[in-house]
Amino acid sequence: MTNIVGHVAALNRFPVKSMAGEKLAVAEIDWQGIEGDRQYAFLRKANGTRFPWLTAREVPAMVLHHASFTDPGAPKTSPVLVETPDGAAVSLHDPLLHAHLETAAGEPIGLVQVARGIYDSMPISIVTTASHASVETVHGCALDPRRFRANILVESELPVNEWQGLRLAFGNEADGAVVQMADPIPRCVLITLDPDTAAKDVRVLRTVAQQFGNAYGVYATPARPGLIRAGDPVRVVD
């Protein structure tokens, strides 16, 4: 038997790691995750660690740069446009954009493209409206969900942690994707950044760390490629 546990309230894709992303009406799930998600990343050329990426940890204003594919249906080949905080729309490869980020970083940077996605851990992040509301209640005020950069927001009365280890199916059996729910997502300083101003509020991370074990949302991996559409029913399946 299948069990409807909610509906897809929002789908988000982030073409460039640490930049603001784009809302989707339909997300294509392949074995690597959402097509086009975190396909590009800036890196710190002198950083020889396993995490060389330039992120909003180093340059908070990255969250104010909005990246989107000019051809949303073909992310592997589509150019990427970046809307800068001053309202200009430039190519992701624009030398002036790179120079601006390099100056803000204070070190040489580069840009890489990896079709499978440049993830911190697993490829898909999921949260429920109930889980988000719990954080807001404990924190004492509304929090913009964009702070948390989740791929899939599910309208549900259930906390997302209840689905750990389970499989979720989206939409219909003909072309809907299935994901395997995995571990809670540990959070870092990025959630302290206001998505509209990049102003830092350390209290957000303190709330999540002290009251929720430093976890917000749950990671998932593809179990069956397919489509996820805004409004799709979400089911727990065997």
Instruction: Determine the Cα–Cα distance for residues 210 and 193; give it in Å rounded to an integer.
Output: 18
What does the pLDDT average to over 70-82?
Answer: 95
pTM higher than 0.75 for the full model?
Answer: yes
DSSP assignment string, 126-178: EEEHHHHHHHHHHHTS---GGGG--SEEEE-SS-GGGGTT-EEEES-TTTB-E
pLDDT at 1 over 60: no
Burial environment of residue 137 by CB neighbours within 10 A (0 to 12, 13 to 18, 19 or more): exposed
CB atoms within 10 A of CB 178: 20
pLDDT band at 125 (very low <50, low <70, confident <90, very high): very high
Instruction: Determine the Cα–Cα distance for residues 110 and 168; give it in Å rounded to an integer.
Output: 37
Number of folded domains that form the chain: 1
Q: What is the 3-state secondary structure (H, E, C) of 26-47?
A: EEEEECCEECCCCCEEEEECCC
Are 82 and 65 spatial neighbours (Cβ–Cβ below 8 Å)? Answer: yes
Q: What is the pLDDT of residue 207?
A: 98
Domain range for residue 41?
Answer: 3-237
Instruction: Determine the Cα–Cα distance for residues 181 and 220; give it in Å rounded to an integer.
Output: 4
Output the domain CATH number for residue 34. 2.40.33.20
